[in-house]
Amino acid sequence: MHFKDRNCFWLVGLWCEMRSALVLALALALGQVAMASSEETLLGGAFKVCSRSDPQLEQCILDSLNGARDKLATGIPELGIPSLEPLRGTEIQLREGEEDFHLQLVLRNFSWIGLSDFIATKARIQFSPPYLEFVTTFNNMSLTGPYEFGGSVLMLRINGNGDSYLNWGSTLTHRLRLEEEQRGGEVYWRAAEYSWQQDVAHVRIHFKNLFRGNKRLGLYANQFLNRNWRPAYAVYGPVANNALADTIKRLVLDPFLARVPVSKMFAP
């Protein structure tokens, strides 16, 4: 073999190596672009964007909800979602009944803990008219804050004000009836109705300073509430669910829906 031929083979080999390196670099670059594109499909860096035409759309919605839990805990300001750990608000009111059988419980400047610690297990959606229903399981949620309590619970007269602690776990069915509105060339959803149905697993309640600080009566009332939460929930559960669902709608759902168009939530 002539020297010239050997040089030719050497140049060909060098070109092959350079071409392989170039292909590898291009592949890595395309991979990074693909990763960036995939990240862009995460709404707010949290929610997986599902396609309306996906035959597994409802499973995609469940994956999207479950995958967003960590982000929901800290909040997603660009989507209008506050921190859920805890969710803070100014007031929750429970009012039911009249005269001798009325109940009024007001929590002010409350902290709601455990809202991001859920597992979404079922989902159903339709686009015309828009409606969403999904089920989540919460093992441990709690509400704390100053309270004002007056009225009767299962014939027991209770009154007081002070610090409160309510803890419970439940399987929760969310029902969200939506309406469309046009803004800036985009379609947005508005929560026309948001309701809850809870299958409650456990409840623990403690109110400080009941009966103007009477420790004996306060102890008895707290024991009574904890022993009889099931029949109490059967009576007052609907008003409690309405108050809690309204709080989530006002603090979380309404700001999110007002900020994010439907085209950003679902791909074609």
Question: Positive or negative CA dihedral for 214, 217, 221, 224?
Answer: positive
Whether residue 172 lies inside any domain: the answer is yes
Whether residue 170 lies inside any domain: the answer is yes
Show the domain range for 147. 86-267
Amino acid 100: pLDDT: 52
Question: Confidence band (pLDDT; 50, 70, 90) for 160?
Answer: very high
Whether residue 14 lies inside any domain: the answer is no
Give the tens place of pLDDT for each residue, 48-77: 999 999 999 999 999 999 999 999 999 999
Cβ–Cβ under 8 Å, residues 265 and 49: yes
**pLDDT reading at 102 higher than 90:** no
Q: Share the mean pLDDT of the chain.
A: 87
**pLDDT reading at 39 higher than 60:** no
**pLDDT reading at 21 higher than 80:** no
> To which H or E segment does residue 180 belong?
strand 156-183
Contacts of 247 (CB under 8 A, 6+ apart): 89, 92, 112
Cβ–Cβ under 8 Å, residues 204 and 170: no
Whether residue 20 lies inside any domain: the answer is no
Q: For the chain, what is the domain count? A: 1
The domain that holds 149 is classified in CATH as: 3.15.10.30
Whether residue 99 lies inside any domain: the answer is yes
pTM of the model: 0.82
Whether residue 163 lies inside any domain: the answer is yes
Q: What is the mean pLDDT of residues 5-30?
A: 45
Whether residue 53 lies inside any domain: the answer is no
Whether residue 141 lies inside any domain: the answer is yes
**pLDDT reading at 267 higher than 60:** yes
**pLDDT reading at 16 higher than 70:** no
